[in-house]
Amino acid sequence: MFKKAKNIDTAFQQVRAFSVLVILGCLSLCGFAMYTMNRATASASSRIYILANGKAIEAIGVDRKDNIPVEAKDHIKTFHHYFFSLDPDEKVIQRNIGKALYLADGSAKRLYDNLRENNYYANIISGNISQEVDIDSVQVNLNQYPFYFLCYGRERIIRATSITNRTLITEGYLRNVSRSDNNSHGFLIERFNILENKDLGIEGR
């Protein structure tokens, strides 16, 4: 009788130990499944698909801090393109300047007003002159905020009989602002200043 009770007690302990092992195994499996699912969800949420010409193109989302140098340089190049690329058409000039002024503060507006008062844009229109800008390099100091930048480029002033090449060196600061349709990078150029803008030479056409 005691032997039978002892066997029942041993069997009960074995069943209990087995049950505990099964429960621990299930919990471990559930934990691993949840961890794997969370990693897969995070990876999927960082991927963006863009539809272009009927094709889905995959893009990977990253934190803005990882992309600041690229976005800052592109913002500066975009501003210079719109501000300094001009054609002998008042509507084109107004459209380009309007886009540029969304990317900068009042310092750029003051420069535009000064050029307009000095008949710079009127002379471009009356003389059928086109102006193009090529950006050679942009240096941005990310160790201070607002971010200081230096931009090096060249202007080409195209007339009916000649092309004038000019240096263009500018400086300014970048401040973070909200992104919008008019300012996709979320930067604003402050204290914009032209350091150098002189003739390099004239070539005939």
Domain regions of the chain by residue span = 2-48, 63-204
Fold entry, domain 63-204:
Nuclear Transport Factor 2; Chain: A, (3.10.450)
Strand, helix or coil for residue 164 = strand
Whole-angstrom distance, CA of residue 172 vs CA of residue 151: 9
131 with 156: CB under 8 angstroms? Answer: yes
Judged against a pLDDT cut of 70, whether residue 92 lies above it is answered with yes
Q: Smallest Cα–Cα separation from 177: which of 71, 57, 60, 45?
A: 71
Element containing residue 204 per DSSP (H, E): strand 199-204
Return the minimum-mean-pLDDT range out of 39-48, 69-78, 148-157, 161-170: 39-48
- According to the model, what pLDDT value does residue 63 have? 54
Run of H or E including 34: helix 2-45
Ranking 31-35, 140-144, 182-186, 196-200 by mean pLDDT, the lowest is: 31-35
